[in-house]
């Protein structure tokens, strides 16, 4: 099979197209012939050497795919063969074939192309487990996600709105803010010219927001505490602005806040399978009804993976970036 090889950690040009053996299935796995693979920020970090894969994962980049199941391991329902699925993979997505635990596969939602389906798993698994499982966002609550025009942000806006929350977001331009409003955000704040803490306080009558999903870190850590409501829950899933900050924890005690965080990739197959089950039951019907839709910023051919990563690093895109394989 062809796959994206990483000759050394470094810039996007470190990636090349190589040929190698197809993956060998382990117990509980299926083999997917990949039609499309999503590009995600963790792929860039892995390429740079800042996000090593777990010891038992493929070293090949790529965390989500869509395609056809062409082989099943012993004990897996052979009825899966020939079906079209999208899947959260532990690694190896930038390839013509990838092995993945069967429980991490989901059917391609009706009405979606394989490229659109490939843009679902990483962001939907991430948002569901952090916003709804960990932070327990409820209908009628307020929700803030930073970076609303990103893959995570665009997913979080749509899911939170669909489940009855009042949604706020930050983005870096008026164009990106309008993109977020079009997805359902009640308030989109251009962080380049507006203090999001002040904007949140004004919009909520000084109550603050119930749940915050943060990918920025840095000085946003303190500002999130300021923007949170009493009994608020703040979930950190990345630190684009750095993992360290000087923080005054007094407001955390006074507001009885919960500060938490998680990473998805190292979690067990059982945990990921449970998330997949919840998504199929509670979210897939919303996608098939058209209420929620993956936002595709750009599609690149497999041979254009360098261009795809450069676009991701530029942060100029709105939505997801997808690689397609002929």
Interval 70-101: pLDDT, tens:
999 998 998 999 999 999 999 999 999 999 99
Token reading at 208: 């603050």
- The pLDDT score that the predictor gives to residue 7 is 86
Q: DSSP 3-state assignment of 106?
A: strand
Residue 326: band (very low, low, confident or very high) from pLDDT cuts 50, 70, 90: confident
DSSP character for 182?
Answer: H
Q: What is the pLDDT of residues 103-160, one digit of tens each?
A: 999 999 999 999 999 999 999 999 999 999 999 999 999 999 999 999 999 999 999 9
Which helix or strand (DSSP H or E) is residue 255 part of? helix 250-255
Q: What is the pLDDT of residues 160-191, one digit of tens each?
A: 999 999 999 999 999 999 999 999 999 999 99
Average pLDDT, the chain: 97
Domains of the chain, residue spans: 2-120+265-324, 124-261
| Cα–Cα distance for residue pair 86/69, rounded to 1 Å | 10
CB atoms within 10 A of CB 51: 14
Tokens 């039951």 map to which residue? 281
In the chain, % of residues over pLDDT 90: 98
Look up the pTM and report it. 0.96
Could you tell me if 264 and 89 are in contact, meaning their C-beta atoms sit under 8 angstroms apart?
Answer: no
**Is there a common fold for 2-120+265-324 and 124-261?**
no
Q: Which CATH architecture has domain 2-120+265-324?
A: Alpha-Beta Complex (3.90)
Long-range contact list for 7-10, CB < 8 A, 24+ apart?
A: 9/47, 9/48, 9/49, 10/47, 10/48, 10/49
| Cα–Cα distance for residue pair 280/62, rounded to 1 Å | 22
- The pLDDT score that the predictor gives to residue 319 is 97
Q: What is the CATH number of domain 124-261?
A: 3.40.50.720
């Amino acid at each position: 099979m062809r796959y994206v090889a990483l000759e050394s950690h470094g810039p996007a040009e470190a990636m090349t197209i190589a040929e190698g053996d197809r993956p060998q299935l382990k117990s509980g796995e299926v083999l997917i012939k990949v039609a499309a693979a999503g590009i995600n920020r963790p792929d860039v970090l892995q390429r740079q050497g800042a996000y090593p894969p777990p010891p038992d994962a493929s070293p090949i980049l790529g965390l989500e795919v869509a395609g056809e199941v062409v082989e099943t391991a012993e004990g897996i329902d052979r009825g899966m063969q020939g079906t079209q699925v999208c899947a959260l993979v532990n690694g190896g997505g930038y390839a013509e074939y990838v092995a993945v635990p069967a429980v991490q596969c989901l059917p391609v939602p009706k009405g979606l192309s394989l490229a659109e389906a490939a843009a679902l798993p990483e962001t939907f698994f991430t948002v569901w487990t952090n916003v709804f499982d960990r932070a327990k966002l409820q209908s009628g609550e307020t929700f803030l996600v930073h970076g609303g025009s990103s893959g995570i942000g665009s997913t979080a806006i749509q899911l939170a709105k669909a489940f009855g929350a009042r949604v706020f977001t930050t983005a870096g331009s008026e164009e990106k803010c309008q993109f977020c409003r079009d997805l359902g955000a009640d308030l989109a704040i251009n962080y380049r010219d507006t203090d999001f803490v002040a904007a949140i306080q004004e919009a909520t009558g000084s109550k603050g927001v119930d749940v915050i999903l943060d990918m920025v870190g840095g000085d946003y850590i303190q500002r999130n505490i300021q923007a949170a409501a009493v009994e608020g829950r703040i979930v950190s899933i990345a630190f684009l602005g750095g993992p360290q900050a000087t923080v005054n924890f007094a407001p955390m005690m006074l507001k009885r806040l919960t500060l938490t965080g998680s990473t998805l990739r190292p979690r067990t197959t059982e945990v990921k399978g449970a998330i997949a089950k919840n998504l199929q039951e509670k979210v897939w019907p919303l996608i098939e009804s058209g209420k929620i839709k993956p936002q595709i910023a750009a599609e690149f051919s497999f041979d254009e993976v360098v261009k795809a990563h450069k676009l991701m690093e530029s942060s100029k895109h709105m939505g997801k970036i997808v690689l397609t394989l002929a």
